[in-house]
């Protein structure tokens, strides 16, 4: 066994007991891995004998192990000075140069070592590796073979082949190795002496069975070889031989740690401390156990004890620093990490944690230096890249941040936080798509990552995807109900969407969480302003100013409110206050401009915006607003000029392109407008309005196929709230290109989004007309008229359809209404006259034509038609006048000559009759003969015998429906009855007759019909529902509730049934059940005003006045003309003593329904309570006259009736 292979470098001479003891202790410490303490021992040996070269070499060997290469070289130089021909010294120095990559110097030293001792296998081996690295594969093979010859341990290594070379980087070393050992514990660049050492200890123990140190050293070796069970047996034997050695217990605790025996580990460490009270490392280890279990208080206690016992224990300082880091004592943590690095300059963990402390303290430059130091050690970990990434993120060097975070993710793609931080960097660079991808990855890895949802919400908000942003902020709130910034952002979006109630709810939450948040009051004030709660708005803005007296925006907003309520002096005062906060604030003029713009004082507004621009020539908002005013005033060239300035200042301002496009459209510069919409889409490829406007331009140019494409693109990106208009517009284009099925589909969708979109009903009516579905077409024209009473086109087209189905009376009414709405529409006159003629009202038709002629809409066609009517009514002289005027206009009009001839004949003027006939025959030979051969036509009515009776029943049913819609319930019942006679099980006829009987108040017959329907079809939910209504009208509450319950069981989404049952529960004082039913009705139909109203009454009944008022207010928000809701809310206000609010609500109820007797009664009684006798008597008499029993009784008791 060579000196190197034995792991010891032997010297010469006699060693005294002191030096022998020191040498043994140094070797024991080295074997135990206590390298710094071993160095201290070798230093003591050197001090005792500075001329003993072996101690320098042993110390150098340890320095190499610690990576302290300069110190190692210094020791080797001294050893060589003491013994110049020492091969081991050259070998060790060659090993250092090898590690540092200085291969030439390494080879030189290896050559010298071999010259001095040709039998050093390790030297041949390492020299061979270098030759391989340098490409001298032949010499490499020779050296490796030589190493195998000298030492069989190298025979197990893989043969090195040129084609198998693969660079592999070893963590913690600054060199590369071209192969990987097959031996589990072999580390390149270090010679493996463990097998030899194991044999040595085995022989020692066989000779000295009670030699504890030998067992101990063998246990250490087994531990290094991961053979923990064998190590444990040896340490147990050590303790059996000598129970007073703390090191034995300490080393055994390490084994217990590896085996997972925590209690035994602690027990051995405590024993070690008991045996050696100054055992610093044992305290340190116990501290780590507590630290890993999260008990930082006890961990800190042990770490501090470790430091107290050993001021040079770098690990203890680092450990204590980590606790300070966790407890946010960053400065103290920094001191501890710095001390650890001072004691151990290559202490990776200390550098890393000190970098964290620097980050926490905001000393990013120092943190970056520490992380770079780690990289200089050859460490390239995901944690280092991650923290460098967040440092660069803080320094706003976003590209470097992305680079480092990407490196971190490439090493570990399971880091939600790394994806999140990289998303932040992408967002700052404007790469929102990449940011969203990273956030999705972060959320996938951590579904509870509230910050990721929050940032995603911000990005979606920026992209205009408000609904998606709301969903993200809602997720944040579900994860953290105290997250005020999420409430704030969601509230702001609700404000932007016009959902002011939800916005206020969110801002209420914020104020509850933080009553000193001025922005929350400010934005809540804005929302109160939007819903007309001006006093609440002012109160909130005042509070914002109270919390921040220099809140300029709040002053500006309050100025806007004051302006709105007509208090101009206070508005100006607030603007001036904002100006005093910032004397050079150009926004003062800008805000004044906005006020004047709102006042429609456009001249002054333009002056204000111009002044704002003078103060700040780059005030793009002022240019923008001034441009909008120019658009309003029709000064489109000036508007374009202002918008050009805005675009020059900010070419990425999409709204300005939209407004300029509008100006171009008005100037008929369609191509310029189209280019501007393209610019918007270039800036925002998902900009719905731009696609929409391009679709409109295509419609304007009659390019409906292209319009369909743009409207489809808009639909792809729009939120639900805007889809109705888009489906409507696309439906028009489908209609124009005669794609009727798609047109119908789109118009149906448009109406699901907005069932009050009159133009959609109008276009759909035309689609149905083309498809031949006249009934539905008429229904849609009727709905159009209901929503838009001045739409003459709807009346006109419905009139045409009524004429087709022979409803001449209805057709006439529609044509008359058309003419009333648009007296210039000639075709309505023509059709009206034609209809009156068909009806037999020839004089009426004549009047229509006379009006046209009298209003200077005279034409040949009108004169001819009136002439024909005069002829039919035997007013021959007038007929002759009209035909004569026609001939004057058109001397070749054959029919005019012929018919004038007829008229002359009737007057006895035979000569002129013959002249006109001759002229007619001359113009059109044969006309006389043809005209006199006309025959009357007979209308043949085919017998119903043999026909399908159900078909005839359907006909009566449809007519019954029509009569019902016209309000003629009696005729409707007659038709339904006839249908039932023909088809006794015609459910829809029975059901409809039941409804008609209900309308007439004939409840028993209604119940009978609904019961018959239920017998035929027991699953007919609507029949149960309507029978329940009749039972409730009859006072049979129990049966009514049973029917509504059955309807709900058949159709769990039947909101009306829940509502009706809730009303009955309310009547029989089952208020909680009533509230549940109203809740369900509202859940099924969020806009169910009646359900909100009744639930509000229910809450009022159980004393929950606040919730009652809230529900009634929601009902009125949905339906501002809901008289009952005003009355109910007014009654609550009256009970609360808020008489003014109550009177306002009763007034609104009466405005909404002037025949609402109960409202007069409620207001009258309140006036009485207020002592306003005359007003009270007026209202009570009004209510009594309308049949209100309570009012009548009140007046009787007072002797006034």
Q: Is residue 1190 part of a domain?
A: no
Q: Which CATH number covers residue 133?
A: 1.25.40.10
Cα dist. 801→265, 795, 821 in Å? 97, 10, 19
| Structural domain count of the chain | 3
Handedness of CA 390, 391, 395, 399 (dihedral sign): negative
Nearest alpha carbon to residue 73 among 64, 65, 83: 64
CA 488 – CA 504 distance, rounded (Å): 10
CA 963 – CA 810 distance, rounded (Å): 13
Handedness of CA 616, 618, 624, 627 (dihedral sign): positive
The phi, psi pair for 529, rounded to 5°, reads -60, -40
Which tokens hold the place of 314?
Answer: 């770098």
CA 94 – CA 7 distance, rounded (Å): 17
Q: Is residue 915 part of a domain?
A: yes
Cα of first residue to Cα of last residue in the chain, in angstroms, is 133
CA 103 – CA 99 distance, rounded (Å): 9
What pTM was computed for the model?
0.41
User: In this structure, are residues 1162 and 1130 in contact, taking their beta carbons and an 8 Å threshold?
Assistant: yes
Q: Is residue 303 part of a domain?
A: yes
Question: Is there a single domain that holds both residue 191 and residue 213?
Answer: no
Query: Which of helix, strand or coil describes residue 472?
Result: helix
CA dihedral 395, 397, 402, 404 (to 10 degrees): -70
Cα dist. 1040→194, 1044, 1095 in Å? 95, 6, 19
Cα dist. 1090→520, 1056, 1112 in Å? 33, 10, 9
CA 1071 – CA 1075 distance, rounded (Å): 6
User: In this structure, are residues 65 and 92 in contact, taking their beta carbons and an 8 Å threshold?
Assistant: no
Question: Is there a single domain that holds both residue 93 and residue 230?
Answer: no
User: In this structure, are residues 1188 and 1161 in contact, taking their beta carbons and an 8 Å threshold?
Assistant: yes
Question: Is there a single domain that holds both residue 225 and residue 346?
Answer: yes
The phi, psi pair for 176, rounded to 5°, reads -115, 155
Domain end among 902, 934, 966: 934
Residues in the chain predicted with pLDDT less than 50, given as ranges, are 1-15, 156-191, 928-948, 951
Under DSSP, the state recorded for 184 is T
Q: How many CB atoms lie within 10 A of CB 449?
A: 22
Alpha carbon of residue 290 to chain centroid: 43
CA 255 – CA 268 distance, rounded (Å): 10
Residue with tokens 């390490």: 254
Which tokens hold the place of 560?
Answer: 């806007």
Question: Is there a single domain that holds both residue 161 and residue 201?
Answer: no
Question: Is there a single domain that holds both residue 202 and residue 191?
Answer: no
Residue with tokens 């309505």: 828
Query: Which of helix, strand or coil describes residue 168?
Result: strand
Nearest alpha carbon to residue 246 among 221, 269, 280, 214: 269
Q: What is the pLDDT of residues 227-274, one digit of tens each?
A: 999 999 999 999 998 888 888 999 999 999 999 898 999 999 999 999
Cα dist. 284→275, 350, 828 in Å? 16, 15, 102
Question: Is there a single domain that holds both residue 191 and residue 207?
Answer: no
**Treating both helix axes as pointing N-terminal to C-terminal, what angle do 1189-1197 and 1157-1169 enclose, rounded to 10 degrees?**
30
Which tokens hold the place of 711?
Answer: 């409207």
Nearest alpha carbon to residue 683 among 722, 647, 729: 647
Q: Is residue 329 part of a domain?
A: yes
The phi, psi pair for 567, rounded to 5°, reads -95, 75
CA 600 – CA 1 distance, rounded (Å): 106
CA 294 – CA 292 distance, rounded (Å): 5
Question: Is there a single domain that holds both residue 280 and residue 139?
Answer: no
Cα dist. 477→406, 421, 471, 481, 519 in Å? 30, 21, 10, 5, 19
Alpha carbon of residue 682 to chain centroid: 23
Under DSSP, the state recorded for 731 is H
Domain end among 903, 934, 965: 934
Which tokens hold the place of 49?
Answer: 């004998």
Question: Is there a single domain that holds both residue 302 and residue 220?
Answer: yes
Cα dist. 527→482, 499, 1092 in Å? 22, 9, 22
Query: Which of helix, strand or coil describes residue 566?
Result: coil
Q: How many CB atoms lie within 10 A of CB 865?
A: 23
The phi, psi pair for 363, rounded to 5°, reads -90, 75
CA 1172 – CA 1146 distance, rounded (Å): 15
Question: Is there a single domain that holds both residue 201 and residue 129?
Answer: no
Question: Is there a single domain that holds both residue 171 and residue 226?
Answer: no
Domain end among 361, 376, 411: 411
* Boundaries of domain holding 254: 196-411
Question: Is there a single domain that holds both residue 225 and residue 88?
Answer: no
Q: Is residue 274 part of a domain?
A: yes
H-helix or E-strand containing 936? none
Residue with tokens 């039932």: 980
Query: DSSP letter string over 297-311?
Result: HHHHHHHHHHHHH-T
User: In this structure, are residues 530 and 498 in contact, taking their beta carbons and an 8 Å threshold?
Assistant: yes
Burial of 882 (0-12, 13-18, 19+ CB in 10 A): buried
Query: Which of helix, strand or coil describes residue 556?
Result: helix
Q: How many CB atoms lie within 10 A of CB 389?
A: 26
Q: Is residue 382 part of a domain?
A: yes
Query: Which of helix, strand or coil describes residue 1099?
Result: helix
Planar angle of CA 110, 114, 115, nearest 5 degrees = 115
User: In this structure, are residues 26 and 7 in contact, taking their beta carbons and an 8 Å threshold?
Assistant: no
Question: Is there a single domain that holds both residue 228 and residue 269?
Answer: yes
Alpha carbon of residue 975 to chain centroid: 55
Burial of 1130 (0-12, 13-18, 19+ CB in 10 A): buried
Q: Is residue 376 part of a domain?
A: yes
Q: Is residue 327 part of a domain?
A: yes
User: For 562, how many CA atoms within 13 A lie in the half-sphere containing its CB?
Assistant: 19
Under DSSP, the state recorded for 1073 is H
Nearest alpha carbon to residue 353 among 343, 366, 926: 366
CA 1147 – CA 507 distance, rounded (Å): 32
CA dihedral 670, 672, 676, 682 (to 10 degrees): 110
């Amino acid at each position: 066994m060579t000196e190197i292979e034995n792991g010891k470098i032997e010297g010469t001479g006699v060693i005294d007991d002191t030096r022998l003891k020191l040498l043994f202790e140094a070797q024991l410490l080295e074997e135990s891995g206590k390298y710094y303490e071993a160095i201290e021992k070798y230093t003591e040996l050197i001090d005792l004998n500075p001329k003993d070269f072996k101690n320098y070499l042993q110390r150098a060997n340890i320095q190499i192990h610690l990576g302290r290469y300069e110190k190692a070289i210094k020791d080797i130089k001294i050893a060589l000075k003491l013994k110049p021909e020492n091969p081991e010294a050259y070998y060790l120095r060659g090993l250092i140069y090898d590690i540092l990559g200085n291969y030439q110097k390494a080879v030189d030293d290896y050559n010298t070592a071999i010259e001095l001792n040709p039998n050093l296998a390790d030297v041949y081996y390492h020299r061979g590796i270098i030759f391989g690295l340098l490409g001298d594969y032949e010499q490499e093979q020779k050296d490796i073979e030589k190493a195998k010859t000298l030492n069989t341990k190298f025979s197990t290594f893989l043969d090195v082949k040129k084609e198998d070379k693969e660079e592999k980087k070893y963590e913690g070393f600054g060199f590369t190795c071209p192969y990987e050992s097959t031996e589990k514990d072999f580390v390149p660049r270090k010679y493996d002496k463990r097998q030899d050492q194991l044999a040595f200890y085995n022989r020692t123990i066989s000779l000295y069975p009670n030699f504890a140190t030998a067992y101990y050293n063998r246990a250490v070796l087994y531990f290094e070889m991961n053979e923990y069970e064998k190590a444990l047996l040896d340490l147990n034997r050590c303790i059996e031989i000598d129970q007073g050695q703390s090191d034995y217990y300490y080393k055994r605790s390490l084994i217990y740690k590896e085996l997972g025996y925590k209690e035994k580990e602690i027990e051995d460490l405590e024993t070690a401390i008991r045996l050696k009270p100054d055992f610093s490392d044992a305290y340190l280890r116990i501290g780590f156990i507590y630290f890993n279990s999260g008990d930082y208080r006890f961990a800190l206690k042990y770490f501090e004890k470790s430091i107290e016992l050993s001021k040079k224990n770098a690990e203890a300082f680092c450990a204590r620093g980590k606790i300070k880091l966790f407890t946010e004592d960053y400065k103290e943590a920094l001191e501890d990490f710095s001390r650890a690095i001072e004691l151990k300059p290559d202490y990776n963990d200390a550098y890393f944690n000190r970098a964290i402390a620097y980050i926490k303290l905001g000393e990013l430059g120092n943190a970056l230096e520490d992380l770079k130091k780690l990289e200089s050690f050859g460490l390239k970990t995901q944690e280092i890249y991650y923290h460098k990434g967040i440092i660069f993120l803080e320094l706003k060097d976003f590209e470097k941040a992305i680079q480092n975070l990407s490196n971190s993710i490439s090493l570990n793609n399971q880091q939600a936080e790394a994806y999140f931080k990289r998303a932040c960097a992408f967002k700052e660079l404007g790469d929102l798509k990449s940011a969203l991808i990273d956030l999705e990855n972060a959320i996938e890895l951590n579904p509870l990552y509230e910050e990721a949802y929050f940032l995603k919400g911000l990005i979606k908000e920026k992209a205009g995807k408000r609904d998606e942003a709301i969903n993200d902020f809602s997720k944040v709130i579900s994860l953290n109900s105290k997250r005020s910034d999420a409430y704030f952002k969601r509230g702001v979006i609700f404000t932007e969407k016009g959902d002011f109630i939800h916005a206020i709810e969110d801002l209420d939450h914020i104020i509850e969480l933080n009553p000193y948040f001025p922005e929350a009051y400010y934005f809540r004030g804005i929302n109160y302003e939007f819903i007309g709660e001006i006093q609440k708005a002012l109160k909130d803005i005042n509070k914002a100013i109270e919390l921040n007296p220099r809140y300029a925006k709040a002053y500006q907003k309050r100025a806007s409110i004051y302006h709105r309520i007509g208090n101009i002096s206070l508005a100006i005062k607030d603007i001036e206050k904002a100006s005093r906060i910032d004397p050079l604030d150009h926004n003062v003029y800008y805000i004044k401009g906005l006020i004047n713009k709102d006042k429609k004082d456009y001249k002054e507004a333009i002056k204000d915006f111009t002044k704002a621009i003078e103060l700040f020539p780059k005030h793009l908002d002022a240019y923008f607003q001034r441009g909008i005013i120019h658009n309003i005033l029709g000064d489109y060239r000036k508007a374009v000029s202002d918008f050009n300035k805005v675009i020059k200042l900010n070419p990425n301002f999409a709204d300005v392109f939209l407004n300029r496009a509008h100006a171009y459209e008005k100037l008929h510069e369609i191509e310029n407008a189209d280019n501007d919409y393209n610019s918007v889409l270039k800036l925002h490829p998902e900009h719905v309005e731009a696609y929409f406007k391009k679709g409109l331009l295509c419609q304007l140019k009659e390019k409906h196929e292209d319009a369909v494409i743009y409207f489809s693109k808009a639909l792809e990106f729009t939120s639900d709230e805007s889809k109705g208009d888009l489906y409507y517009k696309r439906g028009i284009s489908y209609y124009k290109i005669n794609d009727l099925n798609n047109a119908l589909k789109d118009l149906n969708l448009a109406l699901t989004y907005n069932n009050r979109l009159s133009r959609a009903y109008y276009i759909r009516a035309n689609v149905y007309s083309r498809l031949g579905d006249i009934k539905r077409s008429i229904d849609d024209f009727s709905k159009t008229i209901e929503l838009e009473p001045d739409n003459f086109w709807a009346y006109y087209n419905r009139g045409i359809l009524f004429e087709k189905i022979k409803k001449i009376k209805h057709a006439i009414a529609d044509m008359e209404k058309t003419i009333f709405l648009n007296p210039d529409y000639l075709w309505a006159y023509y059709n009206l006259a034609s209809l009156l003629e068909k009806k037999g009202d020839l004089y009426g038709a004549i009047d229509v034509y006379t009006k046209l002629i009298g209003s200077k809409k005279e034409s040949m066609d009108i004169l001819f038609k009136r002439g024909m009517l005069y002829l039919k009514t035997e007013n021959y002289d007038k007929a002759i006048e009209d035909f004569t005027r026609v001939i004057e206009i058109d001397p070749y009009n054959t029919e005019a000559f012929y018919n004038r001839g007829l008229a002359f004949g009737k007057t006895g003027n035979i000569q002129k009759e013959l002249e006109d006939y001759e002229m007619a025959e001359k113009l059109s030979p044969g006309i006389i003969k043809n005209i006199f051969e006309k025959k009357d036509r007979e209308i043949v009515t085919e017998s119903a015998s043999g026909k399908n009776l159900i078909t005839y029943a359907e006909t009566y049913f449809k007519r019954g429906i029509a009569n019902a819609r016209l309000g003629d319930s009696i005729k409707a019942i007659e038709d339904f009855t006839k249908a039932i006679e023909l088809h006794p099980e015609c459910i829809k006829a029975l059901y409809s007759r039941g409804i008609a009987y209900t309308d007439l108040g004939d409840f028993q017959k209604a119940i009978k019909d609904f019961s018959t329907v239920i017998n035929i079809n027991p699953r007919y939910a609507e029949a149960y529902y309507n029978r329940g209504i009749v039972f409730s009208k009859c006072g049979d509450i129990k049966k009514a509730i049973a029917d509504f319950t059955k309807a709900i069981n058949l159709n769990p989404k039947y909101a009306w049934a829940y509502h009706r049952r809730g009303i009955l529960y309310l009547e029989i004082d089952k208020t909680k059940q009533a509230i549940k039913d109203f809740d369900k009705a509202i859940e099924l139909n969020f806009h169910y005003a009646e359900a909100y109203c009744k639930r509000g009454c229910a809450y009022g009944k159980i004393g929950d006045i606040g919730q009652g008022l809230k529900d009634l207010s929601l009902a009125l928000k949905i339906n501002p003309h809901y008289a009952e809701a005003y009355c109910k809310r007014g009654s609550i206000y009256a009970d609360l003593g808020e008489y003014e609010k109550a009177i306002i609500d009763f007034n609104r109820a009466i405005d909404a329904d002037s025949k609402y007797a109960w409202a007069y009664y409620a207001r009258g009684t309140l006036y009485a309570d207020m002592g306003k006798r005359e007003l009270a008597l007026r209202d009570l008499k009004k209510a009594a006259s309308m049949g209100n029993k309570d009012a009548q009784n009140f007046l009787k008791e007072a002797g006034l009736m």
